[in-house]
């Protein structure tokens, strides 16, 4: 029997998509073994999200609320999640492999002297009923399967690796509060303010479609044609950049896709003027479909792409944008 606990991630009162994806994994594992699914929700004024978590598969929701948890802070969230784990004693703990997940989960796992598999693309149960986690290694060129001998077993899931279940309004979760003593004055760091980047849309790591530009964009102002294409595509689409474009000052670092940027896993990745350096491929090679546009027919990106166009991106991007607008207008 696998009893699974997921760590829900929310921003400004809205659940992150990866939280629902983690719930889908947890539900799958629990149903296969006769276990249950518990979700811990941490924040301030977030109890209203418990019903949503229930409709997406949680059997029980533990809520940790405190004014000091209004914004994410490592110490506060780690204390809250640890208290929930101590109460439930799950076999498996799952969270999204996001900026928050990468910071929070290792700290919590260390508190329980437990093993952790990170950036997993598949989670299953072995013949002994314990978790088997599949994760990419060597910049995504190979995969390894990890088994953890400690309890509980921790894992973070790469966003977009799983599809969230459809919400079931007839499902509800038992909701209870977790009492934990929090003292913000003892936190090692305090988040004063969170600023949203200008033009920011869906987070790169959760985007379903990504339009990326490389050094061939030539200037920061030229990225506007990529934003126009992204706007035409609509919800679930955002713009990324290669390290070369970021180093050239064409885009901020938070748009960088790659080994030293963000690892993404969209359904569709559109690479405009990106040569396909190993560093960049490491950050997007698990994309479901890749389209490359480059003047150089020998660009390494074409070897990874499912579809390729040899041509001038400044002619192709506007043409694609107009085609998308026309298709959407025709319904």
What is the pLDDT, as a whole number, of residue 200?
58
Angstrom CA distances, 27 to 123, 147, 179, stand at 12, 20, 26
What is the pLDDT, as a whole number, of residue 187?
85
What is the pLDDT, as a whole number, of residue 139?
80
What is the pLDDT, as a whole number, of residue 13?
84
Query: Residues 6 or more apart from 140 whose CB is under 8 A from it?
Result: 281, 282, 285, 286
User: Exposure string (b/e) for 35-58, b if CB count within 10 Å is 16 or more?
Assistant: bbbbbbbbbeebeebbbbbbbbbb
**Distance, CA of 271 to CA of 84 (rounded, Å):** 42
- Give strand pairing partners of 143: 136
Per-residue pLDDT of the chain in tens (331 residues, 90 and over written 9)? 799 999 999 988 899 999 999 999 999 999 999 999 999 999 999 999 999 999 999 999 999 999 889 989 999 999 999 999 999 999 999 999 999 999 999 999 999 999 999 999 999 999 999 999 999 998 888 999 999 999 999 999 999 999 999 999 999 999 999 989 888 878 888 788 877 766 557 889 999 999 999 999 999 999 999 999 999 999 899 999 999 999 999 999 999 999 999 999 999 999 999 999 999 999 999 999 999 999 999 999 999 999 999 999 999 999 999 999 999 998 7
What is the pLDDT, as a whole number, of residue 131?
97
CB atoms within 10 A of CB 34: 10
**Distance, CA of 178 to CA of 41 (rounded, Å):** 10
Q: Are the beta carbons of 52 and 167 closer than 8 angstroms?
A: yes
Domains and CATH numbers, the chain: 4-186 (3.40.50.620), 204-329 (3.40.50.1220)
**Distance, CA of 100 to CA of 83 (rounded, Å):** 18
Long-range contacts of 44-50 (CB under 8 A, 24+ apart): 44/68, 44/69, 44/70, 45/13, 45/70, 46/10, 46/13, 47/175, 47/177, 48/13, 49/8, 49/10, 49/13, 49/15, 50/173, 50/175
How far does Cα 20 stand from its chain's mean position? 11
pLDDT tens digits for 214-238? 999 999 999 999 999 999 999 899 9
Tokens found for residue 293: 């546009």
- Give strand pairing partners of 141: none
Query: Residues 6 or more apart from 94 whose CB is under 8 A from it?
Result: 4, 5, 6, 7, 22, 25, 26, 123, 154, 155, 156, 157
pLDDT tens digits for 150-203? 999 999 999 999 999 999 999 999 999 998 988 887 888 878 887 776 655 788
């Amino acid at each position: 029997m696998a009893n699974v606990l997921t760590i829900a991630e929310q921003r400004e009162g809205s659940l992150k998509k990866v939280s629902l994806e983690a719930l889908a994994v947890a539900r799958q594992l629990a149903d296969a073994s006769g276990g249950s699914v518990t979700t811990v929700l941490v924040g301030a004024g977030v109890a209203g999200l418990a019903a949503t978590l229930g409709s997406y598969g949680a059997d029980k929701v533990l809520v940790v609320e405190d004014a000091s948890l209004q914004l994410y802070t490592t110490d506060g969230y780690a204390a809250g999640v640890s208290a929930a784990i101590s109460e439930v004693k799950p076999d498996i703990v799952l969270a999204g492999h996001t900026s928050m997940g990468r910071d929070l989960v290792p700290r919590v796992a260390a508190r329980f002297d437990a093993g952790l598999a990170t950036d997993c693309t598949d989670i299953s149960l072995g013949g002994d009923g314990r978790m088997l986690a599949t994760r990419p290694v060597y910049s995504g060129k190979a995969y390894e399967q990890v088994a953890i001998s400690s309890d509980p077993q921790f894992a973070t899931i790469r966003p977009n690796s799983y599809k969230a279940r459809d919400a079931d309004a007839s499902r509800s979760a038992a909701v209870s509060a977790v009492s934990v003593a929090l003292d913000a004055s003892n936190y090692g760091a305090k988040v004063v303010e969170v600023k949203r980047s200008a033009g920011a849309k869906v987070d790169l790591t959760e985007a379903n479609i990504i339009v990326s530009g490389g050094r061939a964009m030539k200037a920061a102002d030229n990225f506007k044609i990529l934003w126009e294409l992204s706007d035409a595509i609509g919800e679930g689409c955002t713009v990324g950049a290669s390290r070369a474009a970021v180093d050239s000052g064409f885009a901020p670092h938070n748009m960088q896709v790659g080994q030293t940027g963000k690892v993404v896993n969209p359904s569709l990745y559109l690479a405009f003027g990106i040569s396909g350096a190993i560093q960049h491929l490491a950050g997007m090679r698990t994309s479901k479909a890749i389209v490359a546009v480059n003047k150089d027919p020998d660009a390494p990106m074409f070897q990874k792409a499912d579809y390729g166009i040899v041509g001038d991106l400044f002619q192709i991007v506007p043409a694609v944008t107009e085609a998308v607008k026309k298709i959407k207008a025709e319904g």
